[in-house]
């Protein structure tokens, strides 16, 4: 169909930078955003980069800058080397499918061409971080360029090379070039590994990567300087994610941070965002999530560590997972960033901890509470949403081989998430010195109640503790009488007493 359509030039979407050329006459189609098509009418005679377009969504004429459009659309072509029928992504796919082997693989010459193209891009967008993604069988034939010279040029130009070698060949020179430019070299074993690689955030975005130590340009003098790197570093699995700076800072108990921050808030120096975060923290202190503990940073209220216990009767029940929450400048208009630090085998959580749930996008509003966000994440561990995955390989496994998926998740949890909540809490804040009234303490867990339930004998227990006990014992731990989960009922009076006590912990500054 496209072959028929391209005979009519007015139906082909034009790259935005091409509209800056002299002699371009409308009407022509141009993307104003990924989901909005406009019609180019004419250009500003005083400024060739300013164009007048008809916005098809608003039904109004407007003025756009082609450089801004190119940046928004990530389409910096100034000609029709790649024909665009719909979007740049679709055009690239079409172009790749049309490529035919011609007998030569001038790998290093291709890198030189890449440097030239990116130099042109940097002239237009000086702040742009540049990268070459080299997909290759690993072989080089007939290149005229010297790899050492290329490596030094890439380093001088601050261009990163990520290489993906497909096939049996090894190329330690290309691996070395990737390493010295701050990039990564991958060699996926099969199509599934390759697919997962290209779904990895830190492969797709350099902004999310942890900084790598750069090699001085002066140290790369011979080809051996490139090839010897492979012996100590080898191929990469994935780039490490850049963690927030606050991840290494000390955290504290919620009541300690709340007392300090409530006192500060009375001075009138608090922004609305900080007041909202304070409200969320206070709510979780007075009525904690039964399977999640929150530990705010001692020095930065916008950063929390979170410890989540795996849900019962799931592959994650024996595990404890560490997460972090970071509230951005635009919170609560935009959701906080919440990620897993502990690796987890889950189709909605990727290898660098990102969580895919609609509460972070289409279902988010400024009214959504942190309790609701924690409930949503916890719910994913109970029931994955395989129809909306971050890891398509795991989603397919969940849908087609659920038993295999769940066993793999269980095995992974045993390896990566085996520490208890109590152990992690001690690592965070040390031994507890808080004196809690004895009647508010669970006789089974030794901790203050969060979700108290009453057994038929009249004794009150923490729900999680007694349910764990009843997995191996069918009796009341105090009376010794027969007991099952169906004999447990929520103790609202104890719950009320606990909330009142937790609230009273803040009365010193909240009264």
If we measure between CA atoms, which residue out of 406, 334, 411 comes closest to residue 365? 334
Q: In sequence order, which residues have a C-beta less than 8 Å from that of residue 240 and are 6 or more positions away?
A: 202, 209, 210
Q: How far is CA 487 from CA 441, 507, 509, in A?
A: 20, 37, 41
Strand ranges in 438-486 using DSSP code E only, listed in sequence order: 452-454, 460-462
What residues contact residue 409 under an 8 Å CB cut-off, 6+ apart? 315, 316, 344, 345, 346
Helix (H, G, I), strand (E, B) or coil at 45: coil
- Cβ–Cβ < 8 Å for 150, 112: yes
Kindly tell me the sign of the dihedral angle through the C-alpha atoms of 494, 500, 504, 509: positive
Strands 185-186 and 303-309, sheet pairing:
unpaired
What are the tokens at 221? Answer: 């003098």
Q: Which residues on adjacent β-strands are paired with residue 51?
A: 43, 64
Angle among Cα 342, 347, 348 to the nearest 5 degrees reads 75
Three-state DSSP class for residue 165: strand
Q: Are 138 and 174 in contact (CB under 8 A)?
A: yes
Query: Are β-strands 36-44 and 28-33 bridged in parallel, bridged antiparallel, or unpaired?
Result: antiparallel
Tokens of 488: 């447990």
Q: Which residues fall within 8 angstroms of residue 89, CB to CB, at 6 or more apart?
A: none
Residues annotated as part of the active site:
356
Rounded CA separation 508/428 (Å): 25
What's the start-to-end Cα distance of the chain, in Å?
Answer: 72
Assess contact for 88 and 26: CB atoms under 8 A. Answer: no
Place of tokens 């897993």: 340
State how far the Cα of 329 lies from the Cα of 335, in Å rounded to an integer: 10
Distances (CA, A) of 445 to 184, 439, 450, 464: 47, 13, 11, 9
- CA 206 to chain centroid, in Å, comes to 12
C-alpha distances out from residue 443 to 447, 461, 475, Å = 8, 7, 15
Left (φ > 0), alpha (ψ -120 to 50) or beta: where does 434 sit? Answer: beta
């Amino acid at each position: 169909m496209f072959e028929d359509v391209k005979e009519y030039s007015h139906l082909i979407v034009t790259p935005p930078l091409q509209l800056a050329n002299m002699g371009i006459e409308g009407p022509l189609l141009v993307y104003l955003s990924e989901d909005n098509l406009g019609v180019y009418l004419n250009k500003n005679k005083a400024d060739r980069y300013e164009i007048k377009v008809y916005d098809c969504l608003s039904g109004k004429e407007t003025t756009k800058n082609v450089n801004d459009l190119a940046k928004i659309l990530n389409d910096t072509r100034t000609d029709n080397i790649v024909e665009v029928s719909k979007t740049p992504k679709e055009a690239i796919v079409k172009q790749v499918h049309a490529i035919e082997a011609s007998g030569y693989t001038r790998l290093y010459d291709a890198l030189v061409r890449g440097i030239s193209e990116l130099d042109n891009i940097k002239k237009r967008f000086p702040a742009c971080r540049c990268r070459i993604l080299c997909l290759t069988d690993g072989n080089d034939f007939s290149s005229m360029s010297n790899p050492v010279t290329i490596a030094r040029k890439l380093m001088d130009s601050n261009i990163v090379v990520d290489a993906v070698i497909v096939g049996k060949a090894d190329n330690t020179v290309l691996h070395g070039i990737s390493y010295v430019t701050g990039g990564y070299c991958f060699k996926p074993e099969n199509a599934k590994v390759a697919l997962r690689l290209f779904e990895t955030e830190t492969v797709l975005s350099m902004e999310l990567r942890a900084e790598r130590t750069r090699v001085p340009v002066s140290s790369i003098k011979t080809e051996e300087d490139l090839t010897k790197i492979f012996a100590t570093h080898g191929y990469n699995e994935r780039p490490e994610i850049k963690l927030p700076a606050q991840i290494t800072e000390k955290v504290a108990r919620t009541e300690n941070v709340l007392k300090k921050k409530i006192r500060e808030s009375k001075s009138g120096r608090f922004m609305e965002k900080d007041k909202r975060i304070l409200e969320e923290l206070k709510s979780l202190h007075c009525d904690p999530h039964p399977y999640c503990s929150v530990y705010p940073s001692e020095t930065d209220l916008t950063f929390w560590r979170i410890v989540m216990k795996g849900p019962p009767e799931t592959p994650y029940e024996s595990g404890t997972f560490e997460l972090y929450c970071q509230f951005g400048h635009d919170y609560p208009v935009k959701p906080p960033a919440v990620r897993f630090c502990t690796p987890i085998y889950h189709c909605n959580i990727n290898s660098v901890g990102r969580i895919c749930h609609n509460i972070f996008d289409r279902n988010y509003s400024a009214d959504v509470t942190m309790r609701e966000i924690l409930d949503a994440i916890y719910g994913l561990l109970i029931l994955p949403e395989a129809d909306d995955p971050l890891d398509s390989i795991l989603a397919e496994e969940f849908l087609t081989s659920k038993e295999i998926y769940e066993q793999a998740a269980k095995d992974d949890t045993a390896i990566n998430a085996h520490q208890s909540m109590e152990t992690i809490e001690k690592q965070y804040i040390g031994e507890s010195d808080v004196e809690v009234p004895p009647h508010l303490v669970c006789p089974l867990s030794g901790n203050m109640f969060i979700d108290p339930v009453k057994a038929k004998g009249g004794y009150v227990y923490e729900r999680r503790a007694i349910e764990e006990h009843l997995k191996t014992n069918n009796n009341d731990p105090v009376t010794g009488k027969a007991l099952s989960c169906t004999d447990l009922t929520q103790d609202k009076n104890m719950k009320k007493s606990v909330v009142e006590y937790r609230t009273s912990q803040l009365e010193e500054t909240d009264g």
